[in-house]
Amino acid sequence: MMRRFLSMATVFLLLAAAAVAGQASTAPQDRPPAQKPPVAQQPPPPAGQQQPDLVVTTDLVRMVFTVMTRRQRLITTLQKGDFKVTENGHPQEIVFFGKEVDLPLRVGVILDTSNSIRSRLRFEQEAATDFVHNVIRRRKDLAFLMTFDSDTGVVEDYTDDAGSLSQAIQRQRAGGGTALYDAVYFACAERLMSPPLPRAGNPEVRKVLVLISDGEDTHSNRARSEAIEICQRAEASIYAISTSTDWLAVSGNRPEKIHKSDGDKVLEQMADETGGRAFFPYKTDDLAASFQDIGVELRSQYSLAYEPRNKINDGKFRHVKIEVPALDGLRVRSRKGYYPNFGKSASAAPVPR
C-alpha cells in the first residue's frame, strides 16, 4: 500500500514539473513585446521667443534639377526609373526621388550698380522690381537685395514684402568699380548657405541667386572660381540676366543677340556651373517672358538623393551627372557636383518674425 502511494505521488510530482516547464517555455511567446520608454516631448517655445536652429546630419547627396528639350520646353512627367546618376563616372543608387513643385524660395537679388552699367541702371531696376513682384509669394518665399560696385553690401535683408524690396531697388544709384565675384561669394556664403527655414512642415527650400549685371568684373578680391564654388557648396543656383547691349542686331523691329560678349559668357558659365540659366533680354518688355520662365522652372523641378559609395572627406570636387538614357534629346540641368562633407552637421536659422 505504501509503495502504491509513493508511486502515485511520484507521478503527480512529474506532472507538476512538466506543467511548470511548459509555462516557462511558452511565456516569452505569449508576453507582448516590451514597450520603449516614451520620448520626452519638448514644450513649444514661449510666444515671441526665437525657435532653436535646425541641425541636420546626413551623408546623402541631394540634387535638384530640371529636364528640358532642345527647344527649352520643360519635361515634368518622368519617373525615378528614367534617370541614371554617376559620381566621377561611377554609377550611384537613387534612394530618394521626388518632384519639387512648390518649395518655398530663398532668393538673393544682386543688382550691379557699378559705373559700367550707368546707362542701363533703369533697365536693371525695372528688371529687379518685376522679378520680386512676379516671383516672390507673400508668407511663403523670402528674398534679400544686394548691390555691388567697388564694394558689396546687403540693402534689404530677408523679407516677403515685395513693396519694401522694390523701394530699396529704386533708391540705388550707379558709380564705382565692379566687384561682381565678391558680391556672388558674399551672397552665397553669408546669406544662402544658411537661409531662414519654414517654421512648420517640410524644412526644404529652393535657394536661388538672381544676378542682374553686364558680367564684367574689375574690382573683386575673389576669383570667379571661388564664387562658383561657394554657390555649389550652398546648393544655390544662379539665374543671370544680362544687361549688356554689345553684339546686338536688329531683325525687323526686334533686337537680337547675335554674339555673346565676354561678360555674357561669364554670366552663362556661372549659371551653367550652378544649375541655373542665363537670359539675354534687351527691352524691359522682354523681361516678362524671362521671369515667367524662371518662376515656372523653379516650381517644375525634380529632386533625387543618393548615398555615395565613396565616403572619404578628401575635400575634392566630385562631378555628378544625371542622365535620361532611354530618351534622346533631353537635357538635364543641375549643379555640376559637390564637395564632400560627410558626417558633419549643418544648421539653418528659423524664419524671423
According to the model, what pLDDT value does residue 332 have?
Answer: 94
pLDDT interval class at 126 (50, 70, 90): confident
The burial class, CB within 10 Å (0-12 / 13-18 / 19+), for 209 is buried
**What's the mean per-residue pLDDT of the chain?**
81
Residue 191 · residue 205 · CB < 8 Å? no
Reported as a pLDDT band with limits 50, 70 and 90, residue 353 is very low
pLDDT, position 36 = 40
Higher-confidence residue of 112 and 249: namely 112
**pLDDT the model gives residue 138:** 92
pLDDT in tens, 282-317: 776 677 677 778 888 888 889 999 999 998 888 899
282 Cβ partners below 8 Å, 6+ apart? 245, 248, 255, 256, 257
Of 113-117, 184-188, 210-214, 341-345, least confident by mean pLDDT is: 341-345
Q: Can you tell me the distance from the alpha carbon of 324 to that of 83, in angstroms, rounded to the nearest whole number?
A: 5
Torsion of CA 292, 131, 253, 68, to 10 degrees: -30
Q: Taking a C-beta distance cutoff of 8 angstroms, is the pair 78, 98 a contact? A: no
Query: Is the distance from CB of 250 to CB of 301 less than 8 angstroms?
Result: no
pLDDT level of residue 345 (50, 70, 90 thresholds): very low
According to the model, what pLDDT value does residue 58 have? Answer: 60
Beta strands (DSSP E) in 88-176 are 90-92, 94-100, 105-112, 142-148, 152-159
Question: Are 310 and 91 contacting, i.e. CB atoms less than 8 angstroms apart?
Answer: no
Q: List Cβ neighbours of 127 (8 Å cut-off, separation of 6 or more).
A: 212, 241, 243, 281, 284, 287
**C-alpha cell read off for 44:** 513649444
pTM of the model: 0.75
Annotate 174-206 with b (16+ C-beta within 10 A) or e (fewer): bebbbbbbbbbbbbbbebbbbbbbbeeeeeebb
pLDDT > 60? residue 27: no
Q: In angstroms, rounded to a whole number, what is the distance separating the alpha carbons of residues 8 and 3?
A: 9
- Residue 252 C-alpha cell reads as 525687323
pLDDT band at 247 (very low <50, low <70, confident <90, very high): low
**R_g of the chain, CA atoms, integer Å:** 30
Higher pLDDT, 341 or 32: 341
Please state the length of the chain. 353
d(CA 318, CA 334): 14
Per-residue b/e over 7-36, b at no fewer than 16 CB within 10 Å? eeeeeeeeeeeeeeeeeeeeeeeeeeeeee
State the helix-helix crossing angle for 162-170 and 121-135, rounded to 10 degrees.
180
User: DSSP of 206-262, one letter per residue?
Assistant: EEEEEEEE----SS-SS-HHHHHHHHHHHT-EEEEEE---TTEEEETTEEEE-S--H
**Among the listed ranges 231-245, 283-297, 320-334, which one has the minimum average pLDDT value?**
283-297
